[in-house]
Structures are given as structure tokens and as C-alpha cells.
Amino acid sequence: MFRLKLLPWEYGVRNLLRRPTRTLLTLGALSVVVLLVFVIVGFIRGLERSLAVSGDPQVVLVYSLGAEGSIENSAIAAQTPGLLAASVTGVHRRFGVQHISPELYLGSRIAVDENSQGALGLVRGVTQTAPLVRRKVQLVEGQWPGAGEVIIGRLVHAKLGCDPARLAIGETLRFEGRDWNISGRFAAAGSALESEVWCRVTDFQQALKRQDLSLTAILLTPGASPAEVKLFCKERVDLELQATAETEYYATLQKHYRPVRMLAWLVVFLISGAGVFSGINTMYGAVMGRVRELATLQAIGFRRRAILLGLMQEAVLLSAAASLVAGFAALVLVNGMAVRFTMGAFTLHVDSTAILIGCGAGLAIGVIGAIPPAIRAMRMPVAESLKAF
């Protein structure tokens, strides 16, 4: 049985070390390409993770029928929370307090200093019951806002595009014609709430000169169904309300942002394709400069397939090293980086899936990029190749 004689493993490694400048330049170019793949995949995974953790399966959102799925456009009567508390039996209750959160939610231009025109931020007016319903919210610094005060999520600086130090406790924000002192900072397990500014709902109503609300969030008891809340909204047609589970609301947002995710995957494909062509171009220069060496290997008895595998081995070693460098850089520099988005802000997330896709793209660039130039070199006659300069 015929057995293919392969080139020694260390031969390919020595070839890479024999040309350190070319190897380092190729390694750097491949690392940049793979790092771009990590950034785009980290963006996709961060967006998906932020929307996935934002919903609470026990929370039901009640907002106006004409809002068309956008809570910022919702307006409901101020007595709605009281009607829901009196009519719905599945509301979670503890120590005599029903877990219902009336909220006024709106996008507003927020300025961090007097000379700034401000950036569009998200403000939510809440009451003392908000942390009972928004169970992922944890006050990590400072205290609950009093009159004229706000607490901010840990990603508000990314949404506003300002230095995090400018949002320290005691600093001032300006929106809706008023100055608001920052009294605390909160986290919310990576959910969309972390890019919001919270204040007392009565203060926010006074600043906006309106008495209505945007929504009412209800925490149901374990095992309770949102159906009763939805039935109440259907029966009270005069209130023009609709109810949806919070998980369903964010699942709808997932579908809304699907074109963005598809576009991001297309960018990943284009970047990988550009990396393949860059790899082919680089390997052409590397292989065609070694025509005499490859012809000599054929003359001493190595078959073309063995030489082809040897060239692919060198490319795979180089692309694997580039993938490791890019993966390390992504974990150190990219993972956890906050970015601004229409829904607020979220952090790039380089998880196991992102690492698998990024490293897989890097290895694919090495393998695919090495095949065309290697085949081109192998097709040249041995006698002609030995005479090449």
C-alpha cells in the first residue's frame, strides 16, 4: 500500500523563522483581520445578550394601545396602576405592598455641563416600588433619588458619549429645563436598563408638565399567567390599554433588530473574504519566491501533494498564531467595551461562541489563502523551476 512521505513538521516551522520580517508582517495583518471579526461578532453577541437578559418572565408591561410596541410613545391615565391593583388578582404582594411600578419613560436630551448641547438619553420616572418589580436593578453606589435627584445606570456614560468621571455622584445633569443632582449609580445584570437615568416620577411629571404615565410594570406571583392582565385590558376598552409579558416585548425587539444582526454577519463574511484575498496575495509572494526550493524538494523525492501539505501547514501555523493574538487582544481590549445604540447602550461580549467563530475564521483564512499559490507553484515544471531566480 502506497504511503505518502510528508515533509518533517519542523521544516515548516523553520521556514517561518527563516524570514522573520515577512512572518511578522503577515502575522500582524492576519491578527488585525481576525480582531475585526471578533469586534463584529462581539457586537452581535452583546446586542443579543442585552436583549435576552432584559426581560423578566414574571413581569407584565401595560401601556397604551396606540404605542405600536414603542413604550416611549405610550401615554396612559395616571389612575391605571390603581385600577390594575384593584382588578388583577395575580399581582405579587409582600408585607402588604403590591409590586406594581407606575413609570414615565421618555427620551430626552441630557447635557453633562453648561457648555454642552447634550445627547439623547433615556429617562425613566419611577416610584419606591420600582426595585420590587425591576428585580435585576441593584444600587451599587450612593442612595435612592430624592427631590431633584437622579440615579444613573452603569452604561449611561456610553449612551451620552461622555467621560464616566463626569457622571460621578454629586455631579449635575441637565434635561427638560432643570438641573438634576446624581445621587447614586445602579447595575442591572447587563440589561437595557443600565443605559437609563432614573428619577422620581412626580419630579419628571412636573418637568414635562404632564400628569399621565408611559406604562405600568406588574410583577406577578410565581405560576400566575399574564392572561388575566390582558383580559382586563381587553374588557376596559375605554382605557385603550394593551398588556404584554416583558420577555415577549424584548423578543419583539430581537426581531426588530434582526436586519442589524444580518448586516453585521454580512460584514463578518466580507471581512473574512478580504482576509482570504489578503492571505492569497501574501502567500503568492512567499511561495513564488521559493520556487527553486520547492523544485529541489521534488527533485529529491517528495511528491507535490506532500509539499502542498507542507505549505498549508505553514499557513495554518501562522493563521493559528494570529487567531491566538487576536483572541487575546479581543478578551483584553474588546470584551466589555460599552457602545452606544438606538435602544440605549450595551457592552461587546466576547464569549465562547465569538471565540469559536473568530478563531475558525482565522484558520479558514490560512487554509484557503494557501491553496491557490501552492497549486500554482506545484504546476511549474521541475526543470524550469530549478533555473528560476
So what's the pLDDT on residue 132?
92
Q: For residue 149, is it within any domain?
A: yes
Say whether both 91 and 199 belong to one domain.
yes
Give me the chain's average pLDDT, please: 84
Of the pLDDT bands very low, low, confident and very high (cuts 50, 70, 90), residue 103 is very high
Stretch 371-375: mean pLDDT: 75
Say whether both 97 and 134 belong to one domain.
yes
Full residue range of the structural domain in which residue 171 is found: 59-223
Say whether both 46 and 86 belong to one domain.
no
Q: For residue 249, is it within any domain?
A: no
Distance CA(82)–CA(233), nearest Å, equals 14
Q: For residue 243, is it within any domain?
A: no
Question: Which of these three, 208, 223, 238, is where a domain ends?
Answer: 223
Distance CA(188)–CA(230), nearest Å, equals 27
Question: Which of these three, 181, 202, 223, is where a domain ends?
Answer: 223
Cβ-proximal residues to 194 (8 Å cutoff; 6+ apart), any chain: 153, 154, 155, 156, 186, 187, 188, 344, 345
Task: Name the maximum alpha-carbon separation found in the chain.
Answer: 95
User: pTM of the prediction?
Assistant: 0.81
Q: For residue 240, is it within any domain?
A: no
Cβ-proximal residues to 34 (8 Å cutoff; 6+ apart), any chain: 275, 322, 323, 326, 327, 358, 359, 361, 362, 365
So what's the pLDDT on residue 2?
46
Say whether both 90 and 212 belong to one domain.
yes
Q: For residue 231, is it within any domain?
A: no
Say whether both 99 and 191 belong to one domain.
yes
Question: Which of these three, 206, 223, 240, is where a domain ends?
Answer: 223
Say whether both 288 and 358 belong to one domain.
yes
Q: For residue 286, is it within any domain?
A: yes
Domain count, the chain: 2
Report how far apart the first and last C-alpha atoms of the chain are (Å, whole number): 38
More confident residue, 344 or 226: 226
Tell how strand 178-187 and strand 149-153 pair up. parallel
Say whether both 85 and 43 belong to one domain.
no
Q: For residue 232, is it within any domain?
A: no
